[in-house]
Amino acid sequence: MKKMKSVGLNDELYNYILDLYVPEDLLLDELIRETEKLEIPLIQISPEQGKFLTLICKIIKAKKALEIGTLTGYSGIHIARGLTPDGKLTTIELEKKHAETAGKFFEKAGLKDKTDIIVSPAIDCLKELVKMNRVYDFIFIDADKVSYPDYYEEALKLSRSGTVIIMDNMIKNGRVTEDAGDDADLKAVQLTNKILSRDKRTDTLLLPVGDGLTLTMVL
């Protein structure tokens, strides 16, 4: 029996989706221009991925969210917009310049009181949050790929039954099925996918959205 599969997206189909479901956002456009002006890599999530994060947070009625990898706040704005009115996003960023830019745009977006930026190596911060017995409803991981397996394990310690964990770049520019060779990032993504697919503590699906999102629910 032939298996049905997702339809490949050409530019026309992709733009059709964006035009209908992801309206232009002048603030986010400004954020991207500012990121480029500051010569910060344009490695933020795609627009439809952002809308997906917002919707997931709304669906699960997330109040407490954690983000690993702030960059300049593009994904953080989407997450914070999806939280409950009394919700809060804690986002961890290694680079001070990135964090300062994110803070400026969180304020412009009217999300200053719903966001808390921590400038720190992510794994150190995560371990401190575990010691503080923090628990989150939603966790988004989009930082250095080599540390993905470690970030995932710490994220589980910060979760409860029903917590949703999403990880980005899990198709790795379409290279995830290739021989990784000396590519440490690709090796880490492949390993993380294996861990997620076999983990009995969670239920996960890899979605072909943007560069691939794994959607995980903690059991």
Question: For residue range 109-168, what is the model confidence (pLDDT) as tens digits?
Answer: 999 999 999 999 999 999 999 999 999 999 999 999 999 999 999 999 999 999 999 999
Please tell me the predicted confidence (pLDDT) of residue 186. 98
What token pair was written down for 94? Answer: 């290694």
pLDDT the model gives residue 89: 98
Neighbours of 121 (CB within 10 A): 13
pLDDT over threshold 70, residue 66: yes
Rounded percentage of the chain residues whose pLDDT exceeds 90: 96
Mean pLDDT, residues 21-48: 96
The pLDDT of residue 1 is above 70: no
Q: Which residue shows structure tokens 């627009």?
A: 47
Q: What is the pLDDT of residue 24?
A: 92
- Residue 209 clears pLDDT 90, i.e. is over it: yes
What are the b/e assignments for 179-211, b being 16+ CB within 10 Å? ebeeeeebbbbbebbeebeebeebebebbebbb
Residue 167 is predicted with a pLDDT of 98
Q: Is 131 exposed, middle or buried (0-12, 13-18, 19+ CB in 10 A)?
A: exposed
Whether the CB-CB separation of 68 and 141 falls below 8 Å is answered with yes
pLDDT of residue 139: 99
| CA distances to 58, 100, 112 from 103, in Å | 23, 5, 7
Question: Among residues 182, 153, 155, 65, which one has the least CA distance to residue 115?
Answer: 65
In this prediction, residue 151 carries a pLDDT of 98
Using a cut of 0.85, tell me whether the model's pTM lies above it.
Answer: yes
**What is the band of 2 on the pLDDT scale with cuts at 50, 70, 90?**
low
pLDDT at 4: 74
Rounded-to-integer distance, Cα 61 and Cα 57, Å: 6
Tell me the domain boundaries of the chain. 11-218
176's enclosing H/E stretch is none
**pLDDT number for residue 127:** 98
pLDDT reported for residue 114: 98
CATH number of the 11-218 domain? 3.40.50.150
